[in-house]
Amino acid sequence: MAELRWNPLLGDWVMIASHRQERPQMPKDWCPFCPGSGRVPDGYDVLEYDNDFPALMQNPPAPDDVETSLYKVSPAYGKCEVILYSPNHTITLPELEVEHIKKLVDLWSERFTALKRDERIKYIFIFENRGEVVGVTMPHPHGQIYGYSWVPLKIKRELELSRRHYEDTGQCLICRITEEEYDFKKRIIMENDHFVTYLPFFTEYPYGVFISAKRHVGTIDEFTPEERQAFAEILKYTTGTLDALFDYKFPYMMCMHQLPVNGEEDFSDCYHFHVEFYPPMRSRDKQKFNASSETGAWAPCNTTSPEEKAEELRRAYEKFKEKMGRVSR
């Protein structure tokens, strides 16, 4: 079964994808993403791979006959892609060279451009789940891209509030948030010529950093060559900083928020590209769980001080930079 079901309480679609239960737990001695598996080329640097168990498809089956006047169903139209970061089965994003990550940025951009040509796709979501604690069953370094036939509710809410802020102030909300962080200074973790990483004032997660583009740019395929290089660099150092916190491969969810595509409303004045991280750890060995308040009422509670955690992150950033300096010598 693969279909969309309408939630009338929230005004949003739910993906029903029962076939994804059949996803295998891969044996330790075989990986479909490794050269020699027969599933990928024997030689590649980065690679797009169509998801074997997609929740969304460009040729979806007809939905089950369960629709009523209240409960709507729709075909699970869209696209689910896997983006392979490297042929190396055990390497991780911060362990890749910046020039290699630049190839990954180029591939993300190429796939964004390709997917938006499908006028039925309305939102393109690039993300990475890292670590077993967030449900990863495939350790080979990879991320994913979902092309949705609607704008998901969280993104829709961000866009609506950004539009309202723009109408009130004439300013992009993401630009204003970044300005506030620069004015305060203490939550800024790192920056380069084109991007800045900070722990936002309102973070729900102890280490939930954002990466924001300094230029008001809507989507990854609008990056200049210099911005692509700078984005590759700050991705390496941001994820490496998380690893340096406690000297292990830090789990996270990395989510790129961009403008919608193929829509009737233009949000390009009021919203722009940024990356949101959701790392589930609140200390070296303690996980932050979203329990009843967070899940049932959408009332998040961060039990740590963002300013104190930002200081931790800056120390971890200096530690990672020192490590990279030793490696390059």
Q: How many CA atoms lie within 13 A of 267 on its CB side?
A: 27
What token pair was written down for 101? 């990550």
* Spatial distance between the Cα atoms of 323 and 317, rounded to a whole number of angstroms: 10
* Spatial distance between the Cα atoms of 164 and 212, rounded to a whole number of angstroms: 20
Catalytic residue positions, numbered: 142
What token pair was written down for 61? 């089956």
What token pair was written down for 202? 């309102």
- Number of Cβ atoms within 10 Å of the Cβ of 16: 18
Q: Are 101 and 236 in contact (CB under 8 A)?
A: yes
* Spatial distance between the Cα atoms of 245 and 309, rounded to a whole number of angstroms: 10
Of residues 233, 229, 238, the one with CA closest to residue 211? 238
* Spatial distance between the Cα atoms of 127 and 143, rounded to a whole number of angstroms: 6
- Long-range contacts from 284-289, C-beta under 8 angstroms, 24+ separation: 284/245, 284/246, 287/133, 288/205, 288/206
Beta bridge mates, 188: 198
What token pair was written down for 191? 């920056």
Strand ranges in 187-229 using DSSP code E only, listed in sequence order = 188-191, 195-198, 210-213
